[in-house]
Amino acid sequence: MPDYPYAILAREGWPFLALFAALTALSAFFALWWLALPFFLLLLFSLQFFRDPRRPLPAALPGGVLCPADGRVIAIEEVDDPFLHRPALKISIFMNVFDVHVNRLPVAGVVRERWYLPGRFFNASLDKASAENERNALWMLTEDGQDVTVVQVAGLVARRILCYVQPGESCRLGQRFGFIRFGSRVDTYLPLSATPLVHLGQRLRSGAEWMAQLQVDA
């Protein structure tokens, strides 16, 4: 599915915006101000939650891995990739309800496989969320033949993971590939030869900052 041609608000938010705007207007029309206020606050929350800012890619970096999600880095560790069953460097980003929840592809390449796993809804900042929560995983093969796994993980209040790309699809760097409602995380599994460019606790912006660098053959 091609990247949609607009920014500012994610398309997933329009039904919520229309609903809360209508309820606010109806309540105000009938002078039910005590009821209009909560709907108006929900409208404001939806506007900030579903925002989809346009972000130009950072300056070119050979082997660069783009940040796939807004949020805070909560893990940088060597683990076993549960999808490709290989030793990997995992970088995890936690998104709270005030972060942008549009997800962007960290590398350019072909989607080799996609997995959806139903699961629990633990707080996404917990380590066990990577293994036990509902999640959607993509196996990306980069243009120079390196494997990258990017995993959308549902959180405590997240109840829907959306993914727009399918196996066999050729994708570009920074392409919007999904959305998670409401709090959640994204795990990225890289080859062990990759070099992290971020640190624990750092806040990142999806599509606008390099998160790691893959080893590039001379």
| 2, pLDDT greater than 50 | no
| 17, pLDDT greater than 90 | no
| SS3 label, residue 12 | helix
Global pTM? Answer: 0.85
Tell me the backbone φ, ψ of residue 101, rounded to 5 degrees.
-110, 10
Q: How many CA atoms lie within 13 A of 78 on its CB side?
A: 6
* pLDDT bucket at 3, cuts 50 / 70 / 90: low
Let me know: does 148 contact 106? Beta carbons within 8 Å: yes
Among this protein's residues, is 184 annotated catalytic? yes
| 18, pLDDT greater than 70 | yes
Q: What is the pLDDT of residues 26-59, one digit of tens each?
A: 988 888 888 889 988 988 887 777 788 888 899 9
Residue showing tokens 């500012």 = 8
| 7, pLDDT greater than 70 | no
Query: What is d(CA 45, CA 47) in angstroms, rounded to the nearest whole number?
Result: 5
Strand-strand pairing, 160-163 and 51-52:
unpaired
Let me know: does 209 contact 66? Beta carbons within 8 Å: yes
Q: Which residues pair with 9 in a beta bridge?
A: 51
| 1, pLDDT greater than 50 | no
- Which entry of 130, 184, 193, 206 is annotated as an active-site residue? 184
Q: What is the pLDDT of residues 165-218, one digit of tens each?
A: 999 999 999 999 988 876 688 999 999 999 999 999 999 999 999 999 999 875
Options 2.70.70.10, 2.60.120.330, 3.40.190.10, 3.10.310.70; CATH for 64-213 is: 2.70.70.10
Q: What is the pLDDT of residues 119-167, one digit of tens each?
A: 676 666 667 767 777 889 999 999 899 999 999 998 766 557 889 999 9
Q: What is the pLDDT of residues 87-130, one digit of tens each?
A: 999 999 998 888 888 899 999 999 999 999 886 766 666 677 67
Q: What is the pLDDT of residues 68-79, one digit of tens each?
A: 999 999 999 999
